[in-house]
Amino acid sequence: MKFKTVSFSGWLVLILCSFVSLGWWLQITFFVSIKDNLPATTLTTTCMLVSLGIILIRKNGGVADKLSLFLSYTTIIVAIWILLEYKIQLPKIENIFTTSHDFKTELSQRPSPRTLITVIIAGLALLLTSYKKNKQYSYAHILCFIGISIPWAAIYGHLSFFSPFYTSMPSLGVGMSPITSICMIIIFIGIFNADPKIGLPGLLLGPTLGGKIMRIVLPAVLLLPLLFSWYIGYSFLHYDNVNTELRVILSLALLSLITSLLVIYTGYIITQKDEEKNQLVIALKESEERYKQVVNEISDYSIIRLDLAGKVDLWNKGATRITGYDANDILQKPFSLLYPKHYNGKPRELLKSALANGKVTDVGWRVRKDGSNYWVNTVISPLYDTEQAPIGFVEVTQDLTERKKTEEKLIASEKKFKNLLHSTPDAMVIVNQNGKITYCNHLASKMFGYTQEQFIGEPIEMLIPERYQKIHMQHLAEYLKHPKARMMDNNLTLLGITKEQKEFPVEVSLSPIYTEENEIQIAASIRDITERIKKENERQEYFKNMEISQKLGKMGYYEIDLDSENATLSDNYISLFGLNSNQSSIAGMSGHVYAEDYLAVNKKFHDSILHHQFFQADYRVNNAQSGEVQYVRNNCYFTYDKNRPLKAIGLKQDITEQKINEQRINKLNAELIKTNKELEAFSYSVSHDLRAPLRAITGFSNKLLKKQGHQLNTEGKRLLDIIVKNTVQMDRLIDDILAFSRISRENLSLSKVNLTQLFKMAYDTHKSLEPENRQIKFTLKPLPDDVVGDSVMLQQAITNLMSNAIKYSRPRQESLIEVGHTNVNNERTFYIKDNGVGFDMRHKNKLFGVFQRLHSEKDFEGTGVGLAICQLIIHKHRGEIWGESEPDKGAIFYFTIKTNLK
Amino acid sequence: MIAQEYIEVIYIEDNMADAELAIDSFQEHRMANRIHLLEDGQEALDFFFGERFKELSALPKLIILDLKLPKVDGLEVLTELKKSVLFKDIPIVILTSSNEDSDIRKAYELGANSYIVKPVNFAKFTETIKQLGLYWLLLNKPKKS
């Protein structure tokens, strides 16, 4: 705990008060009043002193606490109260401390008015020092001066036994006791010392010459009169005649003697100190001069001194060099002249800040005398006098314009560099020698998913899948040994890995960068080639498919640049036509065109170019390797720039096989035509040559019957009749066969066919051939009118079907024949239905066979060709025909027609 | 030999059976007693364009021609006859067993006056011959030469 005069004085008061209390308790006069004939310190006074002592102890230099304030106010109020008791009848507070009711005793227990006034003054002074304000401290000190004079006089009185100095009522024993006086003096000294830096104590305790003198003179001036008054009071006590004036004169004479001695001593000391000071000042001036010279000679730095207002009062060569101002130009002018106009107020702020912080540094622009700017680094420090009071500033300025320019260039170039890196289409990462990332651009963080901060300082291996990290480190070390720019290598596909552990293919190019410290760093530019690889794969796939398609189609793709006449050929082209390189020319391509075809093809090619047409030609070429003749179909189109042909792009197809097939087909066709002709000739001769004998048989049978009939018996006639009948049947067969073969040879002549009419006609024709009494109910439902076919042929087919329907329903009482159309398997299907004898579905496969019959000639006449002809006709119409039946339950025939007009 | 011979009908037919039956039929109905039968195309051409024909007193009223003939085809004979100024007005009836459209068409194109398919049925055959004779020899008015 630090020693403090304030609290020490408080404690001292408390100790003295406890002695007083002890004195009252044990009836020890010395403790209460020192001597019997002096007034005693009352208990009330003691209490007030104790409270003042406590306040002092609690003082800590700051604002007083609540208890201190309370004690201050209470003490003041109590003191005023008791003071008023002397004049007015009031309840007697001092009775709290005593039981005596005797007025005299009572009065002697009351603190004297001097004591009370002193206490009030002390209380007020303490209150004033309760707030940390210099002005109130001054008032407090004034109060202290006033207050301390009272106990001072009292002590003076005690010592010289001169009662008016300590009491106004000597007869009543009321007065300021010596102990109270001492306590009060201690208290006032304590209050003085509440803040030893302020006011009188500051002066007294400070290092100033005045303070020093006060420390020597004051105790003497204060204490010596006391000693003298005691001496005079004590030595002349026995002489009651010695009056007051003598005592005062004696005291004053002694005092004057001593004071003179003190003044002489003081004068001596002051002279001595002044001399010391003068010497010091001279030394200081010399040193300042030297310092000024040194400062002046410094030309690298501008060193100027400013007064407190910022006016220049010292100017060195450096300042002249840097600013262009001569000392004469600038001295006594504000240093803000050196600052650019727009720095408005900044010079003053700098000075303020220098004062507040002891030093200020600034970097910025300044203006030369000629108006040009320069870049400086300035340090401004305040200058203090010996009392630590600021008296000015020194400003040291370094011209950094050149350095600033270099720096700016550097910054600009760095900025440019960074911008460049940010604007590159690739991710950029810079790695130092230790493989740690020192820089990355936006794209890099986007590509790998790390923020830029997460990159910096991390090993580059974090961007590489774990399994490659080791080998990468080796690569890096290897690279650092022989650093050189390395471009993206298409063949070297590397893998990168993102923060999310997603791998992707990358392409990396490296280039070494040398830092200012000549340390090597590696700039890696990284490109995500996922898309490219995908596209490349797709492209390869596409080309592969193209080649496959070409192979499958026996085609070769080519592109001819019509300017340079250079041709690019697909792989399949060269393999198809026996070339040996993908590069050729028009000459190379046309060189193997078959000689006979060359002129025609060449003409057509050039005509196509000229007329902006597609070029298509079939011709022959000689295989460039084997020389074999190949048939090709060449298709191409041309691209133009306006009218200037640029390119021919086409496919050349090897159609040798087709050609051979075509030739084979042509040959077959020729053969077929020949066969057909033969067949025609055959049927011709059949119709002629086979019929003639038949007619002869019937004719001569008849002739025999007519001319020789009378010689034949019945049996002979019957046999002749059988011969004739069979001949007729034979004739019918021949007719049908001829019809069948004619139909199979004939081509369809298509037109809209009225089926309704055809059925009607067929019915009418066959009905008329039947006996008159035959009952037939013919129902013809509406039929569509948009059927297309060969009406002659369809007439034949329908006639045959109708003939069958009528023929096979002959056994019925009433034949029911119905014609209509329906939908079978989503196809429009016509039908003709009868209620005739029908057929067994087991034999349905024989229905449409030539000469195939399901009924005997005896029951139903016929050749077995009718339905075969029907089927032939319907098939020619791309339709189908089929029958459904059950024996004796009628039959139904369906057919479809699918021909249409194109 | 026989001076000023008159022949009413020239019948060109290689099939002797047919020829006999047809001639039977003509004679049965007492038409055309003077029928001259020629057995092939060459013989027919020889007859019309040779010495023999000059001996005839008049042009025949009717020529019945089969198409399928040995040596020279019936259509050729037809062509030659219709080319000839002398014979082009004589009605020529094609009597054949061919029912082929092409034959019918060609015959008419070459100027045949009628086309009859020989019925196989004997009764119909004789009836046809009868009708043919009636029409061409009795009803039909030939162009006056």
Angle at A621 (CA atoms; ends A619, A627), nearest 5 degrees: 155
Supply the pLDDT for residue A4: 72
Q: Hey, are the CB atoms on A691 and B123 less than 8 Å from each other?
A: no
Task: State the DSSP H helix or E strand holding residue B95, giving kind and residue range, or none if neither.
Answer: strand B92-96
In contact, A804 and A870? CB cutoff 8 Å = no
- Tokens linked to A597: 């075809």
Residue ranges of chain B with pLDDT lower than 50? 1-3
The B residues from 23 to 62 touching A (CB cutoff 8 Å) are 24
The minimum CA-CA distance between A731 and chain B, rounded to whole Å, is 7
- Contact check, Cβ <8 Å, B17/A692: yes
Does A694 sit within 8 Å of B120, measured CB to CB?
yes
CB A160 within 8 A of CB A230: yes
> pLDDT over 70 for what percent of chain A?
92
Stretch (H or E) spanning A224: helix A209-235
Angle between helices A691-708 and B122-133 (to 10 degrees): 90
Angle at A42 between CA A36 and CA A48, to 5 degrees: 145
- DSSP class per residue in A14-58: HHHHHHHHHHHHHT-HHHHHSSTTSPPPPHHHHHHHHHHHHHHHH
Q: What is the DSSP string of B45-94?
A: HHHHHSHHHHTBSS--SEEEE-SS-SSS-HHHHHHHHHH-TTTTTS-EEE
SS3 A437: strand
On the question of pLDDT at A417 being above 60, the answer is yes
More confidently predicted of A133 and A328: A328
Q: Quick check: A728 and B120 CB within 8 A?
A: yes
Is the whole-model pTM more than 0.90? no
Of A691, A702, A727, the CB nearest to B97: A691
What was the pLDDT predicted at A106? Answer: 54
* Contact (CB, 8 A) for B104 and A683: no
Does the structure show a pLDDT above 90 at A829? Answer: yes
- Chain A positions touching B98 (Cβ under 8 A) are 684, 687-688
Question: What is the model's pLDDT at position A1?
Answer: 41
Q: What does DSSP say about strands B92-96 and B114-117: parallel, antiparallel, or unpaired?
A: parallel
- State the burial class of residue A315 (Cβ atoms within 10 Å of its Cβ: 0-12, 13-18, 19+): buried
Residue numbers in A near B15 (CB within 8 A):
692, 696
Of A786 and A138, the one with more pLDDT: A786
pLDDT (0 to 100) of residue A493? 67
Confidence band for A819, pLDDT divided at 50, 70 and 90: very high
Residue A702's alpha-carbon distances to A690, A717, A734, B122, B126, in angstroms, are 19, 10, 21, 7, 10
Statement: B9-135 belongs to CATH 3.90.1720.10: no
Please, which pLDDT band fits residue A199 given cuts at 50, 70 and 90?
low
Answer whether residue A103 shows pLDDT above 60. Answer: no
Q: Of A893 and A517, which is predicted with more confidence?
A: A893
Read off the pLDDT of residues A713-759 as tens digits, 9 standing for 90 and up: 888 888 888 888 888 788 788 878 778 877 877 888 888 999 999 99
CB contacts, 8 Å: B103 with chain A: 684
At residue A797 the predicted structure's pLDDT band, cuts being 50, 70 and 90, is very high
Cβ-contact A676, A654 below 8 angstroms:
no
ipTM of model = 0.71
Interface touch B122/A695, C-beta < 8 Å: yes
Provide the pLDDT for residue A239.
52
Chain B residues whose beta carbon lies within 8 Å of the beta carbon of residue A747: none
Residues A142-156: tens digit of each pLDDT: 888 888 888 888 887
Mean pLDDT of A656-662: 88
pLDDT digits (tens, 9 = 90+) for A303-322: 888 888 888 888 888 888 88
Higher pLDDT, residue A386 or B46: B46
Phi/psi of residue B41, nearest 5 degrees: -65, -40
Residue A646 CB partners (closer than 8 Å, separation 6+):
A561, A562, A563, A638, A639, A640
At residue A780, the pLDDT reads 92
Q: Tens digits of per-residue pLDDT, A202-226? A: 666 666 777 777 777 777 777 777 7
From B18, B119, B123, residue closest to A692, measured CB to CB: B18
Q: Give yes or no for A731 touching B (CB within 8 A).
A: yes
| Bridge partners for A828 per DSSP | A823
Q: Is B121 on the interface with A (CB under 8 A)?
A: yes
- Report angle CA A102, A104, A106 to the nearest 5 degrees: 65
Q: What is the band of A383 on the pLDDT scale with cuts at 50, 70, 90? A: confident
Q: Which tokens in the block code for residue B110?
A: 């070459």
pLDDT at A818 (0 to 100): 93
Interface contact flag, B21 A727, Cβ < 8 Å:
no
pLDDT higher at A422 or A184:
A184
Higher pLDDT among residues A710 and A5, named by residue = A710
- Check pLDDT > 90 for residue A41: no
CA atoms within 13 A on the CB side of A87: 5
The pLDDT score that the predictor gives to residue B122 is 75
**3-state per-residue secondary structure call for A713-772:** CHHHHHHHHHHHHHHHHHHHHHHHHHHHHHHHHCCCCCEECCHHHHHHHHHHHHHHHCCC
Predicted pLDDT at B5: 61
pLDDT at A269: 76
Say yes or no for a CB contact (<8 Å) between B15 and A738: no
Percent of chain A with pLDDT over 90: 10
Query: Do the chains contact at B98 and A687, CB–CB below 8 Å?
Result: yes
B122·A698 Cβ contact <8 A = yes
Query: Which residue, among A570, A517, A579, has the nearest Cα to A543 in the 3D structure?
Result: A570
pLDDT score of A246 more than 80:
no
Mean pLDDT of A267-293: 83
CB contact under 8 A, A694 and B18: no
Q: Is the CB of B118 less than 8 angstroms away from the CB of A695?
A: yes
In 3D space, the residue among A412, A439, A454 whose CA is nearest the CA of residue A513 turns out to be A439
Compute the nearest-CA separation of B140 from chain A (Å).
28
Mutant choice from A676, A683, A691 vs B, greatest count of B C-beta within 10 A: A691
Q: How many residues can be counted in chain B?
A: 145
* B32 residue type, one letter: A
Of A685, A700, A731, the CB nearest to B17: A700
The partner residue sitting opposite A687, judged by closest CB among B100, B121, B123, is: B100
Residues 6+ apart with CB under 8 A from A469: A461
Element (H, E) at A440: strand A437-440
- Of the pLDDT bands very low, low, confident and very high (cuts 50, 70, 90), residue A488 is low
pLDDT at B3: 44
Do residues A426 and A527 touch, judged by C-beta distance below 8 A?
yes
Q: Does A688 touch chain B (CB under 8 A)?
A: yes
Residue A726: closest C-alpha in chain B: B121
- Whether the per-residue pLDDT at A634 is higher than 80: the answer is yes
In chain B, the largest separation of any two C-alpha atoms, in whole Å, equals 43
| Tokens found for residue A815 | 């034949």
